[in-house]
Amino acid sequence: MTLEELRWFVAVADREHVTGAAADLHVSQPALSRALARVQAHVGVPLFDRQGRRLRLNRYGRIYREHARRALAELDTARSELEDATGDEHGVVVLAFLHTLGSWLVPALLSGFRAERPGISFRLMQDSAAAMRAALRGGEVDLILTSPRPDDPAIAWRALVNEPLRLAVPPAHRLATRKRVGLAEVTGEPFVAMKAEYGLRGMTDALCRAAGFEPLVAFEGDDVGTLRGLVAAGLGVALLPAPYSAGVEIEPPTPHLRVADGGSFRTIGLAWEERRYRSPATEAFRAFVLANARALAAGIAPED
């Protein structure tokens, strides 16, 4: 069994589909199938169960995948340490961030940093707070821009900026002409909200409970743009950050009202795993973000 075959196993284990994984890896399906057979022969137990035309990872496969991921992450870290030992003017930073930060904070940070360090490049990914936290612990990313603070003692986190949350309401809503509202004023109304694994959902639930009610969730999604559209269609109200495009606050299709309740904001912070190796390029970007994020954000999304 080779290191490449181990990577192929993880790809198939995540996809649970040989044809799809082969296309992702740019290898032939027969070659991938033979590699999987060698991996299973090496470990001595079947790692997949076949269900129709698909492979399903069994309990032995789930155990082996977790160990394989950790082994690959350690080997990748070792390679990165060797490649980066010569200096900090080149290298790759793997950064993950919340979807809503991609239209304002992340471009500002990357633009400012690359003006100082043009030789450093980035690999970017967007996901939920829970998925990013798992990727950070698994060594798949170097840094994450997230909210709220990760509840994990192994993850270091520094607050950067408070982003106000707005109550988005349908255009014909009884509160639509107001500038500022209290959450108690929408007690009993349907909400559209992010799924449970997103930090914004936890904030929505907590703020509503502090206002004295449980939100009646009519829809759960994983995209803020979808929630805005559903609010515009009259499906419910939502607690959302203000919309931005190219770093400029834009006029949304629905009224976004300021919220009078205390704590109606989300604190965006930078997180990293303290004990994991960080390349000179990653350290340079981390230091830049900690020093400059608040000033860069102030011109785009000023705090209420």
94 in a structural domain: yes
Do 223 and 284 belong together in one domain? no
239 in a structural domain: yes
CA atoms within 13 A on the CB side of 112: 20
Q: Are 257 and 179 in contact (CB under 8 A)?
A: yes
Q: Is the peptide bond before 107 cis (omega within 30 degrees of 0)?
A: no
Do 168 and 236 belong together in one domain? yes
Which backbone phi and psi does 138 adopt, to 5 degrees? -85, 0
- The interaxial angle of helices 105-116 and 280-298, nearest 10 deg, is 130
> Does 242 have pLDDT greater than 60?
yes
Helices in the chain by DSSP H: which ranges?
3-15, 18-25, 29-43, 59-84, 105-116, 129-137, 199-210, 224-232, 280-298
Query: How much is the average pLDDT of 15-36?
Result: 85
Do 226 and 252 belong together in one domain? yes
Please report the pLDDT score of residue 88 as a whole number.
63
| Secondary structure of residue 137 in the 3-state scheme | helix
Report the alpha-carbon distance of residue 103 to residue 241 in Å, rounded: 12
Do 66 and 118 belong together in one domain? no
Of 60, 81, 102, the last residue of a domain is 81
Report the alpha-carbon distance of residue 192 to residue 234 in Å, rounded: 10
> Does 219 have pLDDT greater than 90?
yes
Please report the pLDDT score of residue 247 as a whole number.
47
Domain of 177: which CATH number? 3.40.190.10
Do 238 and 278 belong together in one domain? no
> Does 86 have pLDDT greater than 50?
no
192 in a structural domain: yes
Do 129 and 99 belong together in one domain? yes
230 in a structural domain: yes
253 in a structural domain: yes
CA atoms within 13 A on the CB side of 50: 4
Which backbone phi and psi does 211 adopt, to 5 degrees? -85, -5
Neighbours of 115 (CB within 10 A): 8
Supply 58's token pair: 């069994």
Sign of CA dihedral 81, 87, 92, 98: positive
304 in a structural domain: no
15 in a structural domain: yes
> 268, 9, 1: which is closest to 144 by C-alpha?
268
Q: Which domain holds residue 55?
A: 3-81
> Does 304 have pLDDT greater than 80?
no
3-state per-residue secondary structure call for 210-238: HCCCCCEEEEEECCHHHHHHHHHCCCCEE
Cα three-residue angle 205-126-257, rounded to 5 degrees: 40
Query: Considering the chain, what is the average pLDDT of its residues?
Result: 88
Q: Are 110 and 204 in contact (CB under 8 A)?
A: no
Q: How many domains does the chain have?
A: 3
Do 30 and 46 belong together in one domain? yes
> Does 10 have pLDDT greater than 50?
yes
Please report the pLDDT score of residue 87 as a whole number.
54
pLDDT 10s digits, 30-78: 888 898 899 989 989 999 888 877 788 899 989 999 999 999 888 888 8
Domain of 12: which CATH number? 1.10.10.10
Please report the pLDDT score of residue 20 as a whole number.
82
Do 173 and 257 belong together in one domain? yes
Per this entry, what is the length of the chain?
304
Instruction: Provide the pLDDT confidence category of residue 301 given band limits of 50, 70 and 90.
Output: low
303 in a structural domain: no
Of 81, 101, 127, the last residue of a domain is 81
> Does 126 have pLDDT greater than 60?
yes
Do 125 and 261 belong together in one domain? no
Do 118 and 243 belong together in one domain? no
Q: Which residue has the higher pLDDT, 53 or 223?
A: 223
Do 102 and 131 belong together in one domain? yes
pLDDT 10s digits, 159-217: 999 988 999 999 999 999 999 999 999 999 999 999 998 889 999 999 999 999 999 99
Do 129 and 277 belong together in one domain? yes
Token pair 């950064």: residue: 95
> Does 28 have pLDDT greater than 70?
yes
Please report the pLDDT score of residue 186 as a whole number.
97
